[in-house]
Structure 1
């Protein structure tokens, strides 16, 4: 018989816990909210009243509806008041010792039929469940912040979870108006297991000087179409939270890609945690708007690269008032390329005049300088890109430049996750769209970019860095070899 959940307990009424309590109360379910002491309980009450008050102001709730929601939530400092709950969810800090101690206490207090759930974003649900006498009745129920708004819930089952219980929890999530994705118990589940290595890699690129902070963020936001740049997103999540998730991933996988970047560790140790502390990768400074630049101080430009693309780009330059010429006479040589251009530079009579240019989407151009490129040539190319209506991202001449170096391994991780049988294509795409606000899921991006483009980009990255994480997933390699255009074309 399926579980029914009519009374739900929430332990921990910080921003996340109060949001979870509100979600259940909005669905007509009675909630018992528990905090450690009266002061914390009042803060929790403030979160509930503030969130529902904003909804009232925006016309999303009436006064009567708000009163009903708040009336369904009973606030207390006594865990014993959870004894009659059908489900108890914890939303306390991400410290395993705290969670294990809490679950041992909940196991003593709650009725034998009650389900105990953790809202952990990355810790082992199995390890938490092992502290109880009912590991089969313990699951993960990971909401995303802000819980009343975000539609995704990751439902995490362990090897000991009772048959059918994860389905019951998923049905409950749908009752709350959420979209559940059910997965096994691996560090980071789906969203954080894919998101954090990508964010951590962005820190590595910054630390290695591949591009600057604003360039990396602009490349992924305007070029790849992500809702936020990776460094800005780290500041939003919290650098300390991000660091701990990376640590959890690394403890499980021992993959270098999951180890927190040294710069991330340094910022956390210095107390620079992002928005919560007022400074992280970004500080309190106002965003810098590029000033209008004068026309670059060159009149002749040579364009090299794939014939059709180079011809179209040369036409745009002519329309903007530049003269195109051969590479011997040109004051600036632009090499349109998705791969490093230093080998092209050394074949020129004036290698210092060559700059690589990778057009990404409709808004970004990556400006890649080789070790031979003069600062003047880079500056001129940057101004030229702006005149043509694109945002320049200045970077070093490395495989993948910025967008490819970050995006291709991110998509490769999604293929590996699917190949392992951990989650389906649809589950992964849904989780990343709803959990991260992606305009398209990883496999939708793969279909748009082309499997061979991503596979070849990964090979270039692996050849340069020799990092096993950059080696194309075996499935990706096989699909390209077989001429399959999409993972979705595989037999069910």
Structure 2
């Protein structure tokens, strides 16, 4: 492997679409000389005009001084031939997501640039090692995956291919910081960090909908208001559009050789075929009128409270919270070891469906309602209530009235292992743990990449710690036991740390000293 010293002052960008322009903008603002190239000369002119307009707008808004805006624009030069990239210290490729096209370009770049020029690909889904294999010197090739829109999405994944010189990745990490971005480092594996970690929310949301547990809007409401995410899975899919996200789901599933954790859903396949791709087509999982999402009305909560409530003793903390709500609503508590004949029966399972949990305690399933206590019931913005297939309408409505008595909205769902929030949150955490287990990235970088790249309230490992690693492990083990689906098998990273009482963000203790001693 060639040893390189990379000093980056002039950056070439091949491909002048949204990504290429965004990278050009942040590089020019950071004081780098930028050369823009596209096989279509017209596209270079359009991109240059777009950048002039962008810098002018930033100056008008007071985000940049007039002098800085003019200086940034003066650093950007359009070049009409690939030879115009000679003399660059780094060339970033941002062309079509096609392995052959990228390999042809990288081979051509090698004939133009000097031996000390770093070559980087902004690919989101292709192997850096595979791209670099086309080069005479694969050691200077690395991944540099930005997110759209580049100036606002402040994270960039730096990917080491199998033959990449670590100096290449080090130089890209330093450059990212200079451009005001936060770099995270990953091994060359499908989906890198963000697209790999992002499988949890969408594929499990689709799985819940596919089992007929709840509507798209209800699943979104639960994930937003109960679990605290900015967007639910279906709002997210409508935003990214199925013509983009469905192929990524399929690609990552196949690249991991049909790993059950990443199984795509026929729901998105059918909708994509029908052109219901999301916001941009006016209809996806929601309809959009003048760009405004149309959300179905929620049913009005019933008000007829149960006369008496019996609460399972299996989960002490959950029992206390339910009893407090019942007392607040003035409902009599059935304190018997077994429920009386007229009592509403409330259970709070972790990972189990209401049917399994009810039969496990030998309860009358027709009077059972299950409440999700993954997040605190008191102070909640939403609660989720689940019925068994045998639960009567009267019992369902009485349960709904009880949990809505203090004005908190309640979503009533059909029976499901792990409700909605439990199974989606557990899947997100489990996939994050597996990324750490496979040493694709450090625990710190996994959480950083996900919070910045996906906008989650916490990274998957911190989220697991916040809910409790043992709780997540119980949820997964119980779902796995009921469904027998290997999709829910717990990651060894999660299982071991939960058993030892360690944080999910903690590397193996023996590795911590080595990490602390490594040069940053």
TM-score (ref. length: structure 1): 0.91
* TM-aligned CA deviation for residue 171 of structure 1: 1.1
Inter-partner Cα distance in structure 1 for 2:369 and 2:34: 61
* TM-aligned CA deviation for residue 65 of structure 1: 2.1
Q: Are residues 1:67 and 2:70 paired?
A: yes
Give the match for residue 487 of structure 2.
469
* TM-aligned CA deviation for residue 298 of structure 1: 3.8
Give the match for residue 284 of structure 1.
288
Mapped contact 2:306–2:402 kept (Cα < 8 A): no
* TM-aligned CA deviation for residue 97 of structure 1: 2.9
* TM-aligned CA deviation for residue 127 of structure 1: 1.1
* TM-aligned CA deviation for residue 303 of structure 1: 4.0
Give the match for residue 336 of structure 1.
348
Q: Are residues 1:202 and 2:205 paired?
A: yes
Inter-partner Cα distance in structure 1 for 2:424 and 2:455: 17
Tell me the SS of whatever aligns to 1:164. Answer: helix
Give the match for residue 320 of structure 1.
329
Deviations 1:13-58 (A, max 9, x none): 2222211110100100011112343543354245424543443344
Greater relative contact order (Cα < 8 A, sep 6+): 2
Inter-partner Cα distance in structure 1 for 2:399 and 2:137: 65
Q: Please, which of 353, 359, 366 is the counterpart of residue 352 of structure 1? A: 366
Inter-partner Cα distance in structure 2 for 1:458 and 1:349: 24
Tell me the SS of whatever aligns to 1:284. Answer: strand
Mapped contact 2:55–2:70 kept (Cα < 8 A): no
Tell me the SS of whatever aligns to 2:447. Answer: helix
Instruction: Classify 1:46/1:201 alpha carbon distance in 2 versus 1 (closer, same or farther; 3 Å).
Output: farther
Inter-partner Cα distance in structure 2 for 1:386 and 1:301: 16
Deviations 1:330-379 (A, max 9, x none): 47443333332225656788643322111343223121121112345434
Tell me the SS of whatever aligns to 1:488. Answer: coil
Q: Please, which of 264, 269, 280 is the counterpart of residue 268 of structure 2? A: 264
Give the match for residue 122 of structure 2.
119
TM-score (ref. length: structure 2): 0.86
Q: Please, which of 300, 303, 323 is the counterpart of residue 296 of structure 1? A: 303
Q: Are residues 1:435 and 2:453 paired?
A: yes
Q: CA RMSD in A?
A: 2.7
Inter-partner Cα distance in structure 2 for 1:381 and 1:54: 55
Tell me the SS of whatever aligns to 1:448. Answer: helix
Inter-partner Cα distance in structure 2 for 1:416 and 1:350: 39
Structure 1: state its 5+ residue gaps. none
Tell me the SS of whatever aligns to 1:117. Answer: strand
Bigger mean CA deviation after superposition, 73-82 or 414-423? 73-82
* TM-aligned CA deviation for residue 467 of structure 1: 2.4
Bigger mean CA deviation after superposition, 240-249 or 385-394? 385-394
Mapped contact 1:19–1:146 kept (Cα < 8 A): yes
Q: Are residues 1:412 and 2:430 paired?
A: yes
